[in-house]
Amino acid sequence: TSFGFEQVGEGEKQTRVDEVFHHVADRYDVMNDLMSGGMHRLWKDAFVAWLNPPQGGRVPFKLLDVAGGTGDISFRVVERSRKNAHCTVFDINGSMLGVGKDRAKENGLISNLEFVEGNAEELPFEDNSFDAYTIAYGIRNVPRIDKALSEAYRVLKRGGRFMCLEFSNVDMPLLDKAYDLFSFNAIPAIGDAVTGDREGYEYFVQSIRKFPNKERFKMMVEDAEFQQVSYRNLSGGITAMHSGWKL
Q: Which CB, 13 or 198, lies closer to ligand SAM?
A: 13
| 93 secondary structure, DSSP code | -
Per DSSP, the residues of 153-201 read: HHHEEEEEEEEEEEE----STTHHHHHHHIIIIIHHHHHHHHHS-HHHH
Of these, 24, 72, 208, 229, which contacts ligand SAM (CB under 6 A)?
A: 72
Q: Which CB, 1 or 173, lies closer to ligand SAM?
A: 1
Asked if residue 136 binds ligand SAM (CB under 6 A), the reply is yes
Minimal distance, residue 165 CB to ligand SAM, in Å: 7
195 is in an annotated binding site: no
192 is in an annotated binding site: no
Which residue, among 244, 243, 237, has the nearest Cα to 43 in the 3D structure? 237
- Which x/- pattern, by CB under 6 A, does the window 73-92 give for ligand SAM? x-----------------xx
Asked if residue 191 binds ligand SAM (CB under 6 A), the reply is no
How far CA 156 is from CA of 64, 153, 192, 193, 216, in Å, comes to 9, 5, 39, 41, 22
Minimal distance, residue 119 CB to ligand SAM, in Å: 5
8 Å CB contact between 113 and 81? no
Asked if residue 68 binds ligand SAM (CB under 6 A), the reply is yes
Of these, 119, 169, 239, 243, which contacts ligand SAM (CB under 6 A)?
A: 119
Rounded distance between C-alpha atoms, residue 89 and residue 78, angstroms:
12
Q: Which CB, 9 or 173, lies closer to ligand SAM?
A: 9
How far CA 159 is from CA of 4, 49, 71, 164, in Å, comes to 42, 18, 25, 17
8 Å CB contact between 37 and 189? no
- Which x/- pattern, by CB under 6 A, does the window 22-61 give for ligand SAM? ----------------------------------------
Rounded distance between C-alpha atoms, residue 175 and residue 226, angstroms:
32
Minimal distance, residue 14 CB to ligand SAM, in Å: 6
Asked if residue 5 binds ligand SAM (CB under 6 A), the reply is no
8 Å CB contact between 240 and 232? yes
How far CA 199 is from CA of 97, 103, 167, 202, in Å, comes to 24, 28, 19, 5
Binding site for ligand SAM (CB under 6 A): 14, 17, 21, 66-69, 72-73, 91-93, 96, 119-121, 136-138, 141-142
Query: Binding site for S-adenosyl-L-methionine: residue ranges?
Result: 70, 91, 119-120
